[in-house]
A and B are shown apart, each in its own frame.
Chain A
Amino acid sequence: MMIKETYQVTAGDMTAAGDVSARIKRHMKQLGIPASVMRRVAVGTYEAEINLVIHSDGGRIDFAITPEGIDIRVVDVGPGIADIEKAMTEGWSTATNEVRNMGFGAGMGLPNMKRNADEFTIASEVGVGTDIHMLFRI
């Protein structure tokens, strides 16, 4: 059975940040995905969602179950990332104080996504946006 869903994420709305990840998590629970996998996907999508809210001009998260596992694709329109290697370094962040006051912006988002996913790829173009792919094997 192939399942594919797309969720839109609105930029700037910190109070709603996490809604999409919670919906994806609920969906996984209904499908009976093992708790350990579910948690890794939840952390990956939540960090991605926070990034969309704080850094992009909006985007989408695609959730799919494929023969390989749980496939998450995160695509945004926005400023993009000039130096991906730097952005992948723990502790490196361009977040504002406002974002830090919300508990994020510690420069752990992308490293957390990579750590939790079995496969992680990121592509970005300055002035266009960022495209992240994560695969979680079940």
Chain B
Amino acid sequence: MTVKEIASILEAKFLCCEEEGDRQVHSAFASDMMSDVLAFVTEDTLLLTGLINSQSVRTAEMLDLPALVFVRGKNPHQDAVERAKMIGMPALITHLTMFEACGRLYQSGLGAVEIEDYDGEMEI
């Protein structure tokens, strides 16, 4: 799925780097906790987040992610958009909630990130 297709599914608007909209995305990860993103995300993964400061963009940058989406219509801080522009990272904003954004993408065939060390057992 391309970033442009994601924009269409999520009724999202590009905040920057629309010219990079043909990038391919193979999975998605949704979180406001950047350490979780850093722990589990692999390349070609779309990040959906409600975290609107520049650390969301920096996290995507460290992982070479193809794009990120800010959910629930929350406008990211100016420095976050500037950072995204600077590194050529498509940043999108959707009015959908995190739940609905994830649901629509999943329904459209975008899968979850595989967590390598998950052995089917949860420690509770």
Contact = CB atoms under 8 A, between A and B. Distances in A.
B64 A46 contact: no
Interface residue tally of chain B, by bracket?
Answer: 20 to 34
Contacts of B53: 14-15, 102-103
B105 interface: no
Interface residues of A, number: 23
B108 interface: no
Contact of A104 (B49, B55, B79): B55
Contact of A22 (B36, B51, B58): B58
Majority secondary structure, A binding face = helix
Contacts of B107: none
A109 interface: yes
Interface stretch (B13-21, B27-35, B66-74, B93-101): B27-35
A15 B53 CA distance: 8
B79 A103 contact: no
B43 interface: yes
B56 A43 contact: no
B63 interface: yes
A58 B51 CA distance: 25
A39 interface: yes
Contact of A108 (B38, B43, B51, B58): B38
Contacts of B79: 15
Nearest to A43: B38
Contacts of A42: 62-63
A127 B115 CA distance: 37
Contacts of B62: 18, 21-22, 25, 39, 42-43, 46
20 contacts: A14-B55, A15-B54, A17-B58, A18-B58, A21-B58, A21-B62, A39-B43, A39-B64, A43-B62, A46-B58, A46-B59, A102-B55, A103-B35, A104-B35, A104-B55, A106-B33, A106-B36, A108-B36, A108-B39, A109-B35
